[in-house]
Amino acid sequence: MQIYLDTCVLQELKSEENKEIFSLIKNDKANNVYCFSEAHIHDLNRDKTPNKFSDMEFYKGIVERNCFSFEEKKIQFKYETPKDYYHRFDWDSTFDFNLDKNEIINFLKPKMEEVPLNFKSSLEGNINVPDGFAELMANTTNLFDFAKGMMNFTERLSDSKSKDFKELIYHLHNSDSTHELNGIKGFENGQITNKELFRTTYTNHVEKSITDKSIYNLFMQMYAGLELYGFVKGKHRKQKFINFLNDGRHSFFGASCDLVVSDDEDFINKSKFLYSINNIGTLLMNTEEFKMFLKSYVPSNTLQELSTEIEQLDKNEISIATDVNGKTYLVKSTSKLLFGYFNSLQISEIIDRFEYLFFKKDDTLMTGVLTQDIERITNALTSELKNDMHDKSLFKIEEITNGIWCGRTWQKDNYYIQLNYEEKLYLKLTLFRNLFS
C-alpha cells in the first residue's frame, strides 16, 4: 500500500509520547510505501527559520524518496527526498501583488480610477453582508479602490490572527443555500440525495468558473466549495485561510495513495465526502485507528494465500465483465489485500487452461506502479519459490529499461506463476487442463 501521513501527523511523531506508533511505522516500511507531496513542503516553507530543514530530514526517515507533485499538468511521482524537492524551486520568488508597486497596475491606474463604483445604496438595509466586506464596499468609490480593497481583504484572510476568514465562513454557513442558484442539484437538507446528479452538476459548475481545467485545479476548487457552499461545514473556530488552501492540496495528493492518516476531523470529513462522490477508494484514518491497523496488520505474502483465494471463490461475490475486445471473464474483489498490493481477481477459462489474474483495481488517482512494489513482491515470491524458470532471483532496478521489465515466471505444483506488468502490475496463476487433469 501507499500510505500518506499529513503534516501534523508527521510532526507529532517527533514527540516522546508517540514513540510507539513511530516504531510501528518504521517497522511497517518493509510492507508498505510511505509517501509525501509538495503540500508537505508548502507547510514547512511557512517556517522562516532553518528548522524546516531538520524537519525535512526527519520526514525523509519515514517517506524516503517517495514524492508526489503536480507538474506539466499531471500528477508526478518522483524518487526525491523532501530536501530534493524543496531545492528544485526558488521559494522566495513570489509575484508582487502590491498595487502601488506593480508596474502594470500603475499603468492602468488612471483608467481604473475613472470607472465609478458606488455600493452604498446596495448596503442600505442589507444586513446579509460580512462585516469586513461591508466595510470594503462602503469605502469604494471607483474600480481602483475596489481592486485595492479586495487585495487588502484577501491579505487579511491569509493572516492566521485575522478573524475575517472565520467571519466570512460563518456568514456563508448561515446564508440561504446558493448551490441551487448555481445549478448544483442532488443535495438537500445537508445531505446528498442523488450522488450522480450532484457529482455531475457540481463538477460542471466548477469547470465553468475556472480557466485551468486540470485535475488538480478542479479538485482544489471542489474541495474549497465544500466549505463555501456548506456541503461539509468545518468547525468555525478552527478556520484559517492558509490551512484551508493547503488542506486541499493534501486531500488531492492523498487521493493518489491507498490510505491517508490525519487527526484533523474537518479534513477527514471533507476528503471522505469528495472521495466518495468521485469514486476514489482511498481510506482515511486518524492516528489511533492507524495504530490499531498497524498492530493487527499481518502481510499476506505467500502462494498459499493466493491458492486459498482461488479455492474459496463465492459465486455471489463474482461479477461478469467484458474487455474492449469482447472477451468475457469473471472478476471479484479479494477477501484481503495480497502482497500489500493486489485487491482484485480476474478469472478466465480458455480452451486448455484456467487463468487467475490478481491485479490492483484502479480506484485512486495513482496510475502506474511503483518500483518499490515490484521489488517487494518479486523478492517475497523469490524467497518462497527460489529462482524462477530463467534463473532470475531477487529484483534489481537495472532490469527495467525504457519502462519494460522481463518479469518472473515460476512453476509450482499445478500452477505456472507469472509476475509482470502491462500498464499495471499483475500476478497470474495458470492451470493447464492437459498437464494437470
pLDDT in tens, 126-150: 555 555 556 666 776 675 666 666 5
C-alpha grid cell, residue 94: 513570489
* Mean pLDDT of all residues in 376-395: 96
C-alpha grid cell, residue 369: 506502479
* Residues paired with residue 349 on neighbouring β-strands, in sequence order: 354
Report the Cα 366 to chain-centroid distance in Å: 8
Q: Average the pLDDT over each of 150-159, 195-204, 381-390 and give the range with the smallest value.
A: 150-159
Q: How confident is the model at residue 367 (pLDDT cuts 50, 70, 90)?
A: confident
pLDDT above 70: residue 283: yes
pLDDT in tens, 25-84: 999 999 999 999 999 999 999 888 999 999 999 999 999 999 999 999 999 999 999 999
pLDDT, position 434 = 60
* Mean pLDDT of all residues in 90-94: 65
Nearest by Cα to 376 from 15, 32, 4, 5 = 32
Mean pLDDT of the chain: 84
Query: Would you say 306 and 336 are in contact if contact means Cβ atoms under 8 Å apart?
Result: no
Query: Would you say 194 and 276 are in contact if contact means Cβ atoms under 8 Å apart?
Result: no
pLDDT above 90: residue 295: yes
pLDDT above 90: residue 212: no
Rounded Cα–Cα distance for residues 110 and 332 (Å): 67
pLDDT in tens, 36-47: 999 999 999 988
Decide: helix, strand or coil at residue 345: strand
pLDDT, position 110 = 61
CA dihedral for 279, 280, 282, 288, sign (positive or negative): negative
* Helix segments in 297-370, DSSP class H: 303-311
pLDDT above 90: residue 427: yes
Query: Would you say 417 and 429 are in contact if contact means Cβ atoms under 8 Å apart?
Result: yes
Q: Helices then strands (H, E): number in the chain?
A: 18, 15
pLDDT above 90: residue 229: no
In the chain, what are the helix, strand and coil shares in percent, each to the nearest 5?
45, 20, 35
Q: Could you say which DSSP state residue 233 is in?
A: P
Q: How crowded is the C-beta side of 62, counted as CA atoms within 13 Å?
A: 25
* Residues paired with residue 401 on neighbouring β-strands, in sequence order: 404
The values of phi and psi at residue 259, to 5°, are -145, 135
In 13-131, where do the E strands start and end? 33-37, 67-71, 74-78
Rounded Cα–Cα distance for residues 420 and 408 (Å): 7
pLDDT, position 286 = 97
pLDDT, position 94 = 42
